[in-house]
């Protein structure tokens, strides 16, 4: 076996590879940019090599620097992770020419499948069903419009070298193509250095289902069943699960057979993923093959018991697979939630910054479900604007899908982050959503269920009980210090709802009698003291965790997707409180405000210009994505405060209307 492997990547995947190498007794080398000098991966690796400035184009994407790092450290092999150089056949070939083993498929397989245009041509020849579309390069916007109208709307505009949800737009009409084609081309050029675009029919109400394949250098290929990745936002996967709630055994076998046949046709010899778009009727069409390890590989590992990084390393070394298809079976259900540095309450815009608090749930067995958290960060680390905004990948496993969802809900409760925006409340909302729990998924799920964006969730009756119990517990701890306070009757106000309660505390429990409802809540196993951000306990025997912080007269409490200010007041104070006038929010309706920190790519309006609702005002680039900012109302431009090339902060006023 290899004695030393260089990891040509960063963040959580670099840490993930290090863990497997350690278990296998293999030394590791990590390369790092200026932005990652103090990263967890650098701390954990046996050796490190500095490779340049923060931009990936000057560090992680420079193949010559990676090769030189291998030579300097004596690394026999290089694991590329995902992204960066992982699907560059030229890099794999360069490694081979230097006598360095590339831990991934052979260059021929990467070339055949790594290019979306060429892979579709190859799949058609191999007899794999493909989505109708234009398989070939597109000259310009006019050509894109012509092709789109020949195929018929809606169509999907995709970067040939794309990945990770970047370089994709769905166009429903001519205007969408005229705006989307140049944006996709620019994203593709910036993110992948390749601006070739193709267009295909967009399947209405589709599901994204992918098959994990694994091959060796002896002609053996197996599939490790499917993952469903239909919960997406802007074509970026957010929640994945294995297996899929859609498939039956017949469809699973058919998809697996096609994936294996395609892999065998290109002599595939590593871990790879064949992606399909599936209809609700279980029809399926080939989308692309990702010739690398996928971000969501942990859910496959959890249901099969295999370590895919280990299998990649063994295959690259020349070992044959130690199992056949008949040896593989699905065990239980696994779900992955991607924890992103983004603000779900502001249309999921990037929220870069420092992790002032980073307290993930405890990994391992939790009596009914298992928690796994793949991360490359620690408390105090910074989420950089130069790379993907992922903080970690939180996974849960249970014997059933319902158990895995319930486990994920609890794990998200136990995940505490401060210092930047993060999408944990949104992920919790999806876990509680009846449609998600029913398994009736589609890639349009987020757009359909949250058309106005994520605004939090109103408290269910169960959530109202938790908020009540948490507020009463904190209130009780506070008034214990006031010996003169003998009152037991209080009013709990949470948002627009209120209820009368009577409190009775013992050393072990707090009984909250809901005086108007003729029932009582019992809070036990309370773990909280003033100043702590998490309050844990059991309400009527069921464990819960809430995030808390003090506010005027009470607390701001978040339970899953619900965040409310909760107060525990005397009846007289509660009566007076209801008479206070509500504070009105500032009027920003005449302003275009930057929704994120980023770079102004273009300012498309000028002083005095008449602008109509829906027109493009400017384009801002952040986290390698181009975001089109549109006018939300008609108006005449009064001031323009930024120009192309300017860096802008979140909430900065860009344009003001008269």
Instruction: Please give the positions annotated as active site.
Output: 288
Residue 554 dihedral angles phi and psi, to the nearest 5°: -175, -140
Q: What angle do CA 76, 4, 26 make, to 5 degrees?
A: 140
The strand order across the sheet containing 27-33 reads 47-52, 27-33, 4-7, 77-79, 101-102
What are all long-range contacts of 139-144, with beta carbons under 8 Å and residues at least 24 apart? 141/177, 141/178, 141/181, 141/182, 144/177, 144/181, 144/197, 144/199
Q: Is the dihedral of CA 534, 393, 230, 303 positive or negative?
A: negative
- C-alpha 435/C-alpha 447 separation (Å) is 13
Using a 10 angstrom Cβ sphere, with 0-12 exposed, 13-18 middle and 19 or more buried, the burial of residue 538 is middle
In this structure, are residues 512 and 521 in contact, taking their beta carbons and an 8 Å threshold? yes
Sheet with 625-630, edge to edge strand ranges: 625-630, 616-622, 598-603, 647-648
DSSP, residue by residue, 133-188: EE-S---SHHHHHHHHHHH-SSEEEEEEEEETTEEEEEESSHHHHHHHHHHHHHHH
Distances (CA, A) of 299 to 228, 305, 311, 355, 640: 10, 10, 15, 26, 48
């Amino acid at each position: 076996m290899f004695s030393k492997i260089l990891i040509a990547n960063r963040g959580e995947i670099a840490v993930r590879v290090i863990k497997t190498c350690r278990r296998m007794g293999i030394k590791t080398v990590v390369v790092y940019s200026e932005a990652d000098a103090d990263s967890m991966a650098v701390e954990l690796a046996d050796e490190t090599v500095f490779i340049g400035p923060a931009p990936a184009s000057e560090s992680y994407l420079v193949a010559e620097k990676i090769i030189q790092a291998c030579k300097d450290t004596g690394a026999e092999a290089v694991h590329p992770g995902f992204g960066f150089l992982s699907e560059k056949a030229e890099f794999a070939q360069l490694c081979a020419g230097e006598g360095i083993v590339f831990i991934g498929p052979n260059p021929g397989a990467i070339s055949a499948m790594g290019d979306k245009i060429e892979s579709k041509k190859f799949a058609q020849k191999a007899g794999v069903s493909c989505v109708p579309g234009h398989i070939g390069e597109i000259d310009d916007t006019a050509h894109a419009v012509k092709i789109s109208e020949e195929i018929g709307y809606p169509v999907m505009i995709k970067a040939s070298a794309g990945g990770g949800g970047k370089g994709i737009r769905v166009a429903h009409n001519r205007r969408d193509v005229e705006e989307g084609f140049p944006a996709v081309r620019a994203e593709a050029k910036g993110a992948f250095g390749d601006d070739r675009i193709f267009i295909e029919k967009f399947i209405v109400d589709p599901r994204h289902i992918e098959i994990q394949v694994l091959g060796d250098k002896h002609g053996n290929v197996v599939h490790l069943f499917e993952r469903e990745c239909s919960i997406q936002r802007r074509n970026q996967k957010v929640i994945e699960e294995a297996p899929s709630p859609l498939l039956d055994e017949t469809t699973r076998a058919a998809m697996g057979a096609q994936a294996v046949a395609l892999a065998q046709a290109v002599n595939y010899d590593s871990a790879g993923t064949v992606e399909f778009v599936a209809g609700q009727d279980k029809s399926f069409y080939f989308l692309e093959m990702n010739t690398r390890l996928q971000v969501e590989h942990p859910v496959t590992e959890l249901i099969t018991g295999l370590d895919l990084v280990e299998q990649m390393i063994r295959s690259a070394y020349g070992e044959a697979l130690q199992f056949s298809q008949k040896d593989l079976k699905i065990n239980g259900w696994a779900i992955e939630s991607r924890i992103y540095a983004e603000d779900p309450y502001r249309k999921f815009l990037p929220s870069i910054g420092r992790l002032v608090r980073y307290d993930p749930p405890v990994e391992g067995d939790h009596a009914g479900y298992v928690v796994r958290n793949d991360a490359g960060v620690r408390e105090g680390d910074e989420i950089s604007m130069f790379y993907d905004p992922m903080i970690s990948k939180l996974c849960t496993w249970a014997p059933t899908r319902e158990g895995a969802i319930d486990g994920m809900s609890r794990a998200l409760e136990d995940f505490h982050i401060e210092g930047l925006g993060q999408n944990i409340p949104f992920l919790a909302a999806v876990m509680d959503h009846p449609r998600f729990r029913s398994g009736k998924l589609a890639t349009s799920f987020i757009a359909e269920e949250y058309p106005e964006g994520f605004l939090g969730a109103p408290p269910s009756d169960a959530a109202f009980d938790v908020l009540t119990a948490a507020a009463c517990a904190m209130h009780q701890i506070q008034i214990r210090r006031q010996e003169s306070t003998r009152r037991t009757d209080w009013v709990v106000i949470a948002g627009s709802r209120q209820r009368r309660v009577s409190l009775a505390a013992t050393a072990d429990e707090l009984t909250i009698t809901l005086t108007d409802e003729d029932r009582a809540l019992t809070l036990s196993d309370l773990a909280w003291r003033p100043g702590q951000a998490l309050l844990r306990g059991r309400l009527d025997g069921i464990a819960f965790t809430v995030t808390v912080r003090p506010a005027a007269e009470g607390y701001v409490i978040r339970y899953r997707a619900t965040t409310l200010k909760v107060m525990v007041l005397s009846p007289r104070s509660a009566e007076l409180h209801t008479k206070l006038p509500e504070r009105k929010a500032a009027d920003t309706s005449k302003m275009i405000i930057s929704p994120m920190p980023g770079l102004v790519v273009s300012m498309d309006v000028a002083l005095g210009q008449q602008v109509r609702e829906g027109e493009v005002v400017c384009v801002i680039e952040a986290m390698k994505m181009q975001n089109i900012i549109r006018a939300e109302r008609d108006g005449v431009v009064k001031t323009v405060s930024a120009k192309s090339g300017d860096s802008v902060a979140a909430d900065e006023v860009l344009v003001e209307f008269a």
